[in-house]
Amino acid sequence: MFDPTPIRVLLVEDSPGEADLVREMLSQTGASHFEIEHRVRLSGALARLRPGAFDVVLLDLNLPDSRGLQTFDRVNAQCPSVPVIVLTNQTDEEMANEAVRRGAQDYLLKQDTEASLLVRAIRYAIERKAADKAMRESEQRYALAIRGANDGIWDWNLIASTIFFSPRWKEMIGAGADQLTSNPEEWFGRVHPADRPALEAAIQAHLDGRTPHLEAEYRLRHTDGSDRWMLVRGLAVRDSNGTAVRMAGSQTDITARKNAEARLLHDAFHDALTGLANRALFLDRLQLALEATKRRDNGQFAVLFLDLDRFKNINDSLGHAVGDALLQLISQRLADFLRPGDTLARLGGDEFAILVNGVDEPSAAVHVAGRIHALFAKPFLVRGNEVFTSASIGIALTTTGYGSAEEILRDADISMYRAKSGGGNGTQIFDRKMHDAAVALLKLEMDLRRSIENGDFIMYYQPIVSLTRGRLVGFEGLVRWRHPERGLVAPQQFIGVAEETGLIVPLGWWVLEESCRQLETWQRRFPFNPPLSISVNVSGKLFRQPDMVDRVVGILEHTHLDPSSLRLEITENILMDHGEAALKKLTELRALGIELQIDDFGTGYSSLSYLQRFHYDTLKIDRSFVAEMANSGDADAIIETIIGLASLLGMNVIAEGVETLQQFRLLRGMRCPQGQGFLFSHPVPPARAEELIRNMPER
């Protein structure tokens, strides 16, 4: 095939006959087309020679102005990129050989040369030179890369089983450039034993052709004794059968990256304050242990959920710094106590969880818990303070059969709550009943939420009567929940949950508004003198609302009810739990003309002292005292005392839970002014209450 691109030849030859011969030969060929420039002297040739000007130089070494190897050297020096073919005589063959050693592409004996040989020599010279150039460039790049990169280079001759390590490779493990033999064990022998199988597997996979390249991470022992994390990348060179004969690649020190990763990983799974495992890590360990138990690789175990008693008090009274230090000391004490296989975690706040291995019986778990309680017997010395604290511990055992880590932790948590409500410093083991109760509670809460949105509540009213004259004084409003599935639900079943979840606040406002509205309707229909009153139970949570008084005023205005007809029933605990702010609100409410009643009097704490602190209008004697009447002289005496004290303080008294005529007579004998109870009427729906108003003696 004819190649149209001309090959540019610089012919340097002082013999005209030889020059003609060359011209002759190059013109004979049909495949290529040559452009020949002829120079007789070296100086003439050098004047024309520039990179890229010619594809090849045909050079006679003996010229009028230069002789021998120097002729070649000068041409080569001026333009090393152009291939040179030396034209020589038999006698100068030795010299021509030397020129080839110095970089000439070839030499041709003038006498032997024929056209095809010359053309082939020129072609090869050009190709070889181009290949040399490419090779040199790539080698330079490679060398630069090796020098510039932080990588160590290795080149493994798989046949001879020798490895070349670059100086940087050696430096990475602290070895000098002249250290390390070419034995592959210099490398693999330094790989961390735990990482070696994976590295060998990765190498084998690539040698077998299962991976496109080798890539693996491992720790390599530095000469200073430490381990460095390395990333190796490599590629196998294969023979014509596909068998790997050589493998080469790089090794990068990734210790810094690995450390950063480890740090991140550690932080993600540990509690910053105590350094203990956090909830995520604990759940992870729990899950692993649970799976091992199921596979029977592992025995049963217990999860202890530990919550400090009154930790908030310590924080509030001694400050958060002391609280934090205490948590650290407790973590330390717990960690020292546990055995190596156990896991201790801080779940947050003052909550800890412990996975205790080898526990398959409740008694064993309780025993461990007992020893943990004992750890709290000694005080903790925190910044000069001797701090005593205790813990409530809930236990769940894998022998109960668990599917997930969350379940077992949840049950331990539920048990801890049980232990806590027992007064703290105790232990509870989880059982099925607790679980069912917890589930039921959760459902109740969800139902309650929905019902408050839907308004599934109604008010029942229970008459309050004057014991002296038997006349109807007013009503206590008592809420009922119209549960979509369970029908009417009494307040004992849900008021507690409503309080805990804060749902009592919206519910409480509804109760107040509905009761006021109802009473105002009745007052218009039955204009008694004095008018009927309404008693409404008010939760302590409502007293926490900053706008509580304003809202009560708003409800009274909007229902047009006179404040003096409204009685708010509160328990003694409100003042205990809500302090001065509550006291202030009570005073404001009272100033509005609203009457305040103490509900369930006698069941709270420090009853009598609180009576002196704040002036209430009415005491409602708890029905437990009334129930005891006639059975025990003590109850009678207490009731008489309360009535006497109340009249001394100018207070009204209502006896709750009057069920029998006997109780009624006894109370009347004690000059108890008013009563409420099944004897007179159960709490009833509004229509029924209205009938009662109609039929009850009014005076």
Instruction: List contacts with ligand C2E (CB under 6 A).
Output: 462, 478-479, 490-492, 495, 508, 511, 537, 539, 569, 599-600, 623, 656-659, 676-678, 683
- Residues between 656 and 685 with contacts to Mg ion, criterion CB under 5 A: 656
657, interface contact from ligand C2E, Mg ion, none, CB < 5-8 Å by kind: ligand C2E
Nearer to ligand C2E, 164 or 678 (CB): 678
Which residues lie below 8 Å from residue 161, measured CB to CB, with a gap of 6+?
Answer: 184
Report the distance separating Cα 472 and Cα 337, nearest Å: 68
Q: At its nearest, how many Å lie between ligand C2E and the CB of residue 479?
A: 4
Contacted by 37, from Mg ion, ligand C2E, none: CB < 5 to 8 Å by type: none
Out of Mg ion, ligand C2E, none, what residue 490 binds, judged by CB under 5 to 8 A for its kind, is: ligand C2E
**249 interacts with, out of ligand C2E, Mg ion, none, CB within 5 to 8 A per kind:** none
Out of Mg ion, ligand C2E, none, what residue 567 binds, judged by CB under 5 to 8 A for its kind, is none
* Least distance between Mg ion and beta carbon 458 (Å): 17
Q: How far is the CB of 579 from ligand C2E (least distance, A)?
A: 19
Which residues, in sequence order, are CB contacts of 612 under 8 Å at separation 6+?
none
Q: Of ligand C2E, Mg ion, none, which one sits near residue 309, judging by CB under 5 to 8 A according to partner kind? A: none
Report yes or no: 400 and 416 within 8 Å, Cβ to Cβ.
no
Sign of the CA dihedral with 676 first, then 677, 679, and 681 last:
positive
DSSP state of 277: B
CB of 280 to Mg ion, least distance (A): 47
Residues whose CB falls within 8 Å of the CB of residue 379, separated by 6 or more in sequence, listed in order: 386, 387, 388
- Candidates 48-56, 58-66, 248-256, 594-602 — which segment interacts with Mg ion by CB under 5 A? 594-602
Q: For residues 276 and 473, which CB has a smaller minimum distance to Mg ion in the complex?
A: 473
Nearer of residues 63 and 635 to Mg ion, judged by Cβ: 635
Q: Which is nearer to Mg ion, 234 or 683 (CB)?
A: 683
The listed partner (Mg ion, ligand C2E, none) that binds 479, CB under 5 to 8 Å by sort, is ligand C2E
The minimum distance between CB 483 and ligand C2E, in angstroms, equals 14
Which one among 600, 602, 646, 653 touches Mg ion, defined by CB under 5 A? 600
Choose the one of ligand C2E, Mg ion, none that binds residue 184, judging by a C-beta under 5 to 8 angstroms depending on kind.
none
Nearer to ligand C2E among residue 372 and residue 556 (C-beta): 556
Question: Candidates 122-130, 305-313, 638-646, 655-663 — which segment interacts with Mg ion by CB under 5 A?
Answer: 655-663
The rounded distance, in Å, linking the Cα atoms of 487 and 481 is 8
Using CB under 5 A as the binding criterion, the count of chain residues that bind Mg ion stands at: 5
- Determine contact, residues 230/220, Cβ cutoff 8 Å: yes
10 Å CB burial of residue 551 (0-12, 13-18, 19+) is middle
Residue 91 touches which of Mg ion, ligand C2E, none (Cβ within 5-8 Å per kind): none
342 vs 599, beta carbon nearer Mg ion? 599
CA dihedral 619, 624, 625, 628 (to 10 degrees): 160
Give the 3-state secondary structure of 609-649: HHHHHCCCCEEEECHHHHHHCCCCHHHHHHHHHHHHHHHHC
Location of structure tokens 């009685």: 567
572 binds Mg ion (CB under 5 A): no
Kindly state the tokens that stand for 377: 């017997």
- Is residue 512 within 8 Å of residue 538, measured between CB atoms? yes
Would you say 342 or 572 has its CB closer to Mg ion? 572
Task: Out of 463, 599, 621, 663, name the contact with Mg ion by CB under 5 A.
Answer: 599
Nearer CB in complex with ligand C2E: 124/510: 510
* 222-239 burial code (b ≥16 CB/10 A, e <16): beeeebbbbbbebebeee
Question: Is residue 617 within 8 Å of residue 637, measured between CB atoms?
Answer: no
Shortest distance, position 601 Cβ to ligand C2E, whole Å: 10
Question: Cα separation of 157 and 528, whole Å?
Answer: 113
Q: Which is nearer to ligand C2E, 323 or 508 (CB)?
A: 508
- Residue 96 vs 672, nearer CB to ligand C2E: 672
Partner interacting with residue 597 (select from Mg ion, ligand C2E, none; CB below 5-8 Å by kind): none
Q: Can you tell me the distance from the alpha carbon of 607 to that of 642, in angstroms, rounded to the nearest whole number?
A: 10
**Residue 201 binds what, of Mg ion, ligand C2E, none (CB under 5 to 8 Å, by partner type)?**
none
Binding partner at 12 among Mg ion, ligand C2E, none, C-beta below 5 to 8 Å by kind: none
User: Structure tokens of 76?
Assistant: 């080569």
Q: How far is the CB of 606 from ligand C2E (least distance, A)?
A: 19
Residues 6+ apart with CB under 8 A from 673: 466, 467, 468, 652, 653, 654
The SS3 of residue 104 is coil
* Nearer to Mg ion (CB atom), residue 595 or residue 656: 656
Considering the rule CB under 5 A, would residue 271 count as an interface residue with Mg ion? no
478 binds, among Mg ion, ligand C2E, none (CB under 5 to 8 A by kind): ligand C2E
- Kindly identify the residues of this chain, within the stretch 529-548, that bind Mg ion according to CB under 5 A: 537
Binding segment for Mg ion among 340-348, 608-616, 652-660, 670-678 (CB under 5 A)? 652-660
* 459 dihedral zone (left: phi>0; alpha: psi -120 to 50; beta): beta
Q: Of the candidates 300, 393, 299, which has an alpha carbon nearest to the alpha carbon of residue 353?
A: 393
Give SS3 for 402. coil
DSSP conformation class of 531: P
Nearer Cβ to ligand C2E (5/492): 492
DSSP H helices in 422-503: 432-454, 495-501
Q: How far apart are CB 518 and ligand C2E at their closest, in Å?
A: 13
Phi, psi of 601 (to 5 degrees): -60, 135
Other Cβ atoms less than 10 A from the Cβ of 544: the count is 16
Q: Is 569 in the site for Mg ion (CB under 5 A)?
A: yes
Choose between 402 and 494: whose C-beta lies nearer to ligand C2E.
494
- Taking residue 26's Cβ as centre, other Cβ atoms within 10 Å add up to 21
Stretch that binds Mg ion, among 269-277, 337-345, 429-437, 568-576 (CB under 5 A): 568-576
Tokens of 580: 């001065």
Give the nearest distance from C-beta 416 to ligand C2E in angstroms. Answer: 28
**Cα–Cα nearest to 390, from 404, 405, 375:** 375
Residues with Cβ within 8 Å of residue 603, at least 6 apart in sequence? 622, 624
Q: How far apart are CA 187 and CA 178, in angstroms?
A: 15
> How far is Cα of residue 528 from the mean position of the Cα atoms in its chain?
66
Looking at 352-360, 541-549, 560-568, 596-604, which segment touches Mg ion (CB under 5 A)? 596-604
Six token digits for residue 430: 């989880």
Give the nearest distance from C-beta 348 to Mg ion in angstroms. 38
Nearest alpha-carbon partner for 688 in 452, 455, 475: 475
481-540 residues in contact with Mg ion (CB under 5 A) are 537
If one counts every other C-beta atom within 10 angstroms of the C-beta of residue 578, the result is: 19
Whichever of 600 and 636 has its CB closer to ligand C2E, that residue is 600
Cβ-based nearer residue to ligand C2E, 438 or 495: 495
Q: Pick what 511 binds: ligand C2E, Mg ion, none; C-beta below 5 to 8 Å, kind-dependent.
A: ligand C2E
Q: Enumerate binding residues for Mg ion (CB under 5 A).
A: 537, 569, 599-600, 656
